[in-house]
Structure 1
Amino acid sequence: MELSWLDDFLALVDCGNFSRAADARHLTQPAFSRRIRALEDWAGTPLFDRSAQPVTLTEAGRRFRPFADETVRRLLQGREEARLAAQSEAATLRFAATHALSLTFFPSWLRALEARARLGAITLSSDSMEACERLMLAGQAQFLLCHAHPAAAGRLDAESFRSVVVGGDRLLAVTAPDAAGRPRHLLAARENSESGESAPLPHLSYSRESGMGRILEAVRAAQSLPAALDTVFTSHLAAVLRTLARDGRGVAWLPESLIAEDLARGTLVRAGVPAGDERWIVPVQIRLVRPRARQSKAAESFWTLAVEAALWRNAESPTESIIPVAGAESVTEEEL
C-alpha cells in the first residue's frame, strides 16, 4: 500500500467526483481510478459507491476514512518533526488562525501571554477555518485559534485534538443605518401587506469553508428565527461582509470584536428589533486547539502557559467558563 493512495482516497472524498479529484491530484482520470482500485484491492472491499452522484463512501469507506485521515496527518507530522529535529533548536511556534481572529484577538492575547513569559519566534498562517484545519491535520501548524460553538462540529476530532477556551465573542446581526440612524434592515418578522408572508431580507452570508458559517448554520438549524433571509452575497471573510454591510447591502452576523468601532461610530447598527432582542445574538467561544500527540518542548511550554492563563481568566469570569464543544475537549486544571 502506498501513502499516495490515501491522499487519492481523501481527495475523492472531498471532491465526490473522479474527474475533479484526478485534477486536484494532478493525474489523468484513468490513472487516478487505477490507484483508487488498487487501494480497494488492498483493503479487500469497495470503499466508494460509484453508482451515486456525487460518489459516496460505502459503509466500509466510512469506517476507513478516520484511519486514512489520522495516518496521513501523523506521517506528515512525523516528517515535519524530523525536519525540525534536523534544524537548530531555535523553537518557532507555528499558529493557524482564522482571518478575523488574526486581526482582532491574536495580537492582544499574545501580548498578554508575553507579559507572563518570554516566547520565541512565531509564525502565523491566517486563512479560512477549513484551510486552518488542513494545516493542523497535516502537522504544519502546532496550534489553531478559532471561534467555536457547542452546536457546530469541525474536522478536528476529540480523539486526536484537545482545546481550551481562551476568550469569548458574540456574533451580532448588523446592518447599515438609514439617514435617521435607524437600522436599514429589520430582523423582526415583517408581514408583506399583499401576500401575508414574511418579506425576505438581503443576507450577507459566510461560505462553507468559514468557521462562523458553520456556527451560524448549526444555530439556525437548532433554533428557528422568525425572519426570512435571501442570501445576496457569500464570502468566507468577515471583513468583506463587514464592508458590504456598511454599504447597506444587507444583514450580516459579524464578530463583536471586529465591529466594536463601527457600532460606536454608528456606521453599523444592530438589526434586531426591538432593541436588545437576544434571539439575534450568537455567543461564541474562542478556542486554542492542539494535537494530543506530544509537541516540541517550546510548543508544550506555550500550551502550559496558555492553559494556565485560560484557567485564571475563567476563574475571574465564571460566566465564560469552559464548555464542551463537539470535536474538541475542554482542558481542566487537572490536565496541566
Structure 2
Amino acid sequence: MNISWLEDFLALASTKNFSRAADLRHMTQPAFGRRIRALEEWLGADLFDRSTQPVTLTETGEWFRKIAQDLLAQVARLPSEARAVEESWSTTLQFAATHTLSFTFMPNWLRSLEPRISIGAIQCVSDMLQRCEALMLQGKAQFVLSHTHPQVQSQLEMAGYPSIQLGNDTLVPVSLKDETGQARHDVTSGDKPLQLLDYSAESGIGRILHTVLEPELDRLPIHTVFTAHLASVLKPMVLSGRGVAWLPQSLIADDLDSGRLTPVGPAAWRIPLQVRLYRDRSNINRTAEMFWDAVSNCQLEH
C-alpha cells in the first residue's frame, strides 16, 4: 500500500466527487480513480458506493476513514518522535535563563550541585523572561531559570509547568551616592519628580515591579528618563547618576557593600523575589530527568 492512497481516499470521502477530489490531489480523474481502485483491491473491499451521486462511503469505508486519519497522523508524528528518541540519549541540558540570573545565580548554584550529580554539557540561552518562556512553550528549552513573585503569575505557571524554588532575592530601589555620601536622587521630599530608570513592558522584573508597587508609584510624581528590558542595562545608568532603578540585590551586592550605591525610599519599596526553576512537562531526556530529580532532592534536604 502507498501512503498517498490514504490521502486520496480522505479527499474523495470529503468531497464525494471524483473530479473535485482529483483536482485537490493534482492529478487527472482517470489516474485518481485507478489509485482509489488500487486501495480497494489491496484491502479486498469496496470503500465507496459509486451507484449514487454524490458517491457515498460504504460501511467498510466509514470504518476505514478513522483508520486512515489515524495512520496519517502517526506518520506525521514519526519525524518528531524519531528526534525525541535520539535526543533522549543526549547528555546536553537545555537551559533558558533570565539575563541577570545567568551570571549572578547560575554559576554558584551549578557548582553547589556538582558533589551530588555529574553535570555534563549545558547549553544556555540568556535573555529576558518573555523570550525564555517562549523557548519552553515551543519545546526548545528543558529548563527556565527566572525571578518570580507570588502576586505575578508567569506564562509557565499559567500553563501548568512544574517548578522548584531555588533561592531568594530582593528588588531594591537604588541611587548613586553624591559627594556627601547621600543619595544623589532624593525620593522622600516629594518636591521633585522621581527620576526613574524603568523596565520595558516585556521585562519580567518590570512586570513584578509595576504589579506589586503600582498603587505606591501612582501616587508619586515620576519622570521616566530611561527604559530598558534588562536590569544589567539599567545598572550602569544608575552608576552614572541618571536616576533611581529597582535592581536585584544579587546584581548590585558589591556596589552596595562598597558604598557606590545606596537604597532609597521606604522599606516597603523593597520587593522580595523568588529564584525559581521551571521544567518542561514532557520534552525532557533522561539526563535532564536525572538532573531535575537531583535538584528536587537537594531542595527537600534544605
The Cα offsets for residues 295-328 of structure 1, whole Å up to 9 and x where unpaired, read as 2111111111111222223xxxxxxxxxxxxxxx
| 1:217–1:82 distance in 2 versus 1, CA, 3 Å | farther
Contact 2:89 2:286 (8 Å CA) reproduced:
no
| 1:188–1:303 distance in 2 versus 1, CA, 3 Å | same
Q: Which amino acid aligns with 1:118?
A: S
| 1:94–1:80 distance in 2 versus 1, CA, 3 Å | farther
- How far is 1:80 from its partner? 6.1
In the alignment, which of 280, 290, 293 is matched to residue 291 of structure 1? 280
Aligned 1:1-336 pairs, distance under 5 A = 82-86=82-86, 89-190=89-190, 192=191, 199-221=192-214, 227-272=220-265, 277-293=266-282, 295-313=284-302
Structure 2 distance, partners of 1:166, 1:186, is 35
Structure 1 distance, partners of 2:175, 2:113, is 35
Greater C-alpha Rg: 2
Contact 1:128 1:210 (8 Å CA) reproduced:
yes
Question: How many residue pairs were aligned?
Answer: 226
Q: Secondary structure at the match of 2:162?
A: strand
Structure 1 distance, partners of 2:149, 2:261, is 25
Structure 2 distance, partners of 1:149, 1:155, is 13
- How far is 1:260 from its partner? 0.5
- How far is 1:189 from its partner? 4.7
Q: Secondary structure at the match of 1:161?
A: coil
Structure 2 distance, partners of 1:293, 1:189, is 53
Q: Secondary structure at the match of 2:141?
A: coil
Q: Which amino acid aligns with 1:138?
A: Q
- How far is 1:119 from its partner? 1.5
Q: Secondary structure at the match of 1:156?
A: helix
Match of 1:24 in 2: none
Structure 2 distance, partners of 1:180, 1:79, is 67
Sequence identity of aligned pairs in percent?
A: 45
| 1:251–1:309 distance in 2 versus 1, CA, 3 Å | same
Q: TM-score, normalised by structure 2?
A: 0.70
| 1:78–1:172 distance in 2 versus 1, CA, 3 Å | farther
Q: Which amino acid aligns with 2:214?
A: A
Q: Secondary structure at the match of 1:248?
A: coil
Structure 2 distance, partners of 1:248, 1:78, is 58
Contact 1:188 1:226 (8 Å CA) reproduced:
no
- How far is 1:175 from its partner? 0.5
- How far is 1:104 from its partner? 0.1
The Cα offsets for residues 185-236 of structure 1, whole Å up to 9 and x where unpaired, read as 122252x3xxxxxx31110011122110110011023656753322111111
- How far is 1:81 from its partner? 6.1
The Cα offsets for residues 21-76 of structure 1, whole Å up to 9 and x where unpaired, read as xxxxxxxxxxxxxxxxxxxxxxxxxxxxxxxxxxxxxxxxxxxxxxxxxxxxxxxx
Structure 2 distance, partners of 1:112, 1:213, is 29
- How far is 1:96 from its partner? 0.3
Contact 1:145 1:288 (8 Å CA) reproduced:
yes
Q: Secondary structure at the match of 1:269?
A: strand
RMSD between superposed Cα atoms in Å: 2.1
Match of 2:32 in 1: none
Q: Secondary structure at the match of 1:219?
A: helix
Q: TM-score, normalised by structure 1?
A: 0.63
* 153-162 vs 77-86, which moves further: 77-86
